[in-house]
Amino acid sequence: PVVTRREDYREPDWRVPEIALDFDLDPAATRVHATLQVERNGSHDAPLRLAGDGLLALVVRVDGVVAEDWTMDGDDLVVPLSGAAHTIETEVEIAPERNTQLMGLYASGGILCTQCEAEGFRRITFFPDRPDVLSKYKVKMTADKARFPVLLANGDPIAQGDLDGGKHWAEWHDPFPKPSYLFAIVAGDLVANRGSFMTMSGREVQLGIWVRLPDLPKTDHALHALKLSMAWDEKVYGREYDLDVFNIVAVDDFNFGAMENKGLNVFNSRYILADPDTATDYDYDAIAAVVAHEYFHNWSGNRITCRDWFQLSLKEGFTVFRDQSFSADQGSAAVKRIEDVRGLRASQFPEDAGPLAHPVRPDEYIEISNFYTATIYNKGAEVIRMMATILGPEKFRAATDLYFDRFDGTAATCEDFVQSMEQGGGVDLTQFRRWYSQAGTPRVSATLTQEGGRARLTLRQVVPPTPGQPVKEPMVLPLKVKLFGAVTGRALCDEQLVLLKDESHEILFENLPETPVLSINRGFSAPVVVETNRTAKDLAFLSAHDDDPFARYEAMQQLMLDTLVTSVANGTGDHQAVIDAVRNTLTDANLDRAFIAEAVLLPSDSFIGDQMTVVEPEAIFRAREALRQDLGKALATEWRAAYEGSLANRFEYSPAAKGARRLKTVALGYIAASGAADADGLAFDQFRGADNMTDRQGAMTTLVNGASPLREEALEAFYTRYQGNGLVLDKWFQTQALSSREDTLDRVERLAAHPDFTLSNPNRARSLIGAFSVNQRAFHDVSGRGYRFVADQLIALDKLNPQTAAKLLPPLGRWKRFDEGRAAKMRAELERIVATPELSKDMFEQASKSLD
Positions that interact with ligand B3K (CB under 6 A):
117-118, 256, 258-260, 293-294, 297, 316, 369, 372
Assess contact for 530 and 521: CB atoms under 8 A. yes
Contact region with Zn ion (CB under 5 A), list: 205-213, 308-316, 684-692, 712-720: 308-316
In this structure, the strands spanning 30-40 and 85-94 are antiparallel
CB of 767 to Zn ion, least distance (A): 22
Contact region with Zn ion (CB under 5 A), list: 109-117, 230-238, 310-318, 559-567: 310-318
Nearer to Zn ion by Cβ, of 319 and 646: the residue is 319
Nearer to Zn ion by Cβ, of 285 and 316: the residue is 316
In this structure, the strands spanning 305-306 and 411-412 are parallel
**SS3 state of residue 357:** coil
> Distance between the two ends of the chain, CA-based, in angstroms?
16
Task: Report which of 378, 278, 293, 373 is spatially closest to residue 327, judged by C-alpha positions.
Answer: 293
Nearer to ligand B3K by Cβ, of 318 and 550: the residue is 318
Assess contact for 732 and 722: CB atoms under 8 A. yes
369 binds, among ligand B3K, Zn ion, none (CB under 5 to 8 A by kind): ligand B3K
Nearer to ligand B3K by Cβ, of 369 and 701: the residue is 369
Buried b (16+ CB within 10 A) or exposed e, 183-204: bbbbbbebbbbebebeeeeeee
Burial class, 629, CB count within 10 angstroms (exposed 0-12 / middle 13-18 / buried 19+): middle
The β-bridge partners of 136 are 18
Nearer to ligand B3K by Cβ, of 701 and 804: the residue is 804
422 binds, among Zn ion, ligand B3K, none (CB under 5 to 8 A by kind): none
294 catalytic per annotation: yes
Give pairs for 712-715: CB < 8 Å, separation 24+: 713/684, 714/684, 714/687
695 binds, among ligand B3K, Zn ion, none (CB under 5 to 8 A by kind): none
Written as one letter, the residue type at 280 is T
**SS3 state of residue 25:** coil
Reduce the secondary structure of 602-670 to three states and give it as a string.
CCCHHHHHHCCCCECHHHHHHHHHHHHHHHHHHCHHHHHHHHHCCCCCCCCCCHHHHHHHHHHHHHHHH
Quote the distance between the C-alpha of residue 772 and its chain's center.
18
CB of 258 to ligand B3K, least distance (A): 6
259 binds, among ligand B3K, Zn ion, none (CB under 5 to 8 A by kind): ligand B3K
Nearer to ligand B3K by Cβ, of 356 and 530: the residue is 356
372 binds, among ligand B3K, Zn ion, none (CB under 5 to 8 A by kind): ligand B3K
Q: How many residues bind Zn ion (CB under 5 A)?
A: 2
306 binds, among Zn ion, ligand B3K, none (CB under 5 to 8 A by kind): none
606 binds, among Zn ion, ligand B3K, none (CB under 5 to 8 A by kind): none
845 binds, among ligand B3K, Zn ion, none (CB under 5 to 8 A by kind): none
Nearer to ligand B3K by Cβ, of 92 and 289: the residue is 289
Range 202-261, binding Zn ion (CB under 5 A): none
**Distance between CA atoms of 524 and 550, rounded to whole angstroms?**
7
CB of 186 to Zn ion, least distance (A): 19
Written as one letter, the residue type at 624 is R
CB of 228 to ligand B3K, least distance (A): 18
798 binds, among Zn ion, ligand B3K, none (CB under 5 to 8 A by kind): none
Range 312-341, binding Zn ion (CB under 5 A): 316, 319
CB of 398 to ligand B3K, least distance (A): 26
Site string for Zn ion, 258-297 (x = CB under 5 A): ----------------------------------------
**SS3 state of residue 293:** helix
CB of 621 to ligand B3K, least distance (A): 34
Task: Report which of 673, 584, 683 is spatially closest to residue 627, judged by C-alpha positions.
Answer: 673
CB of 606 to ligand B3K, least distance (A): 24
**Distance between CA atoms of 666 and 660, rounded to whole angstroms?**
10
The β-bridge partners of 818 are 615
Dihedral sign from CA coordinates of 852, 604, 701, 785:
positive
CB of 316 to Zn ion, least distance (A): 5
Nearer to ligand B3K by Cβ, of 262 and 711: the residue is 262
Residue nearest to ligand B3K (CB): 117
**DSSP of 537-591:** HHHHHHHHH-SSHHHHHHHHHHHHHHHHHHHHHHS----HHHHHHHHHHHT-TTS
Please tell me whether the peptide bond between 118 and the residue prior to it is cis, using omega within 30 degrees of 0: yes
**Distance between CA atoms of 26 and 31, rounded to whole angstroms?**
8
CB of 302 to ligand B3K, least distance (A): 10
Nearer to ligand B3K by Cβ, of 285 and 316: the residue is 316
Q: Which of 117, 294, 554, 638 is an active site residue?
A: 294
Tell me the catalytic residues: 294
- Interface residues with Zn ion (CB under 5 A) are 316, 319
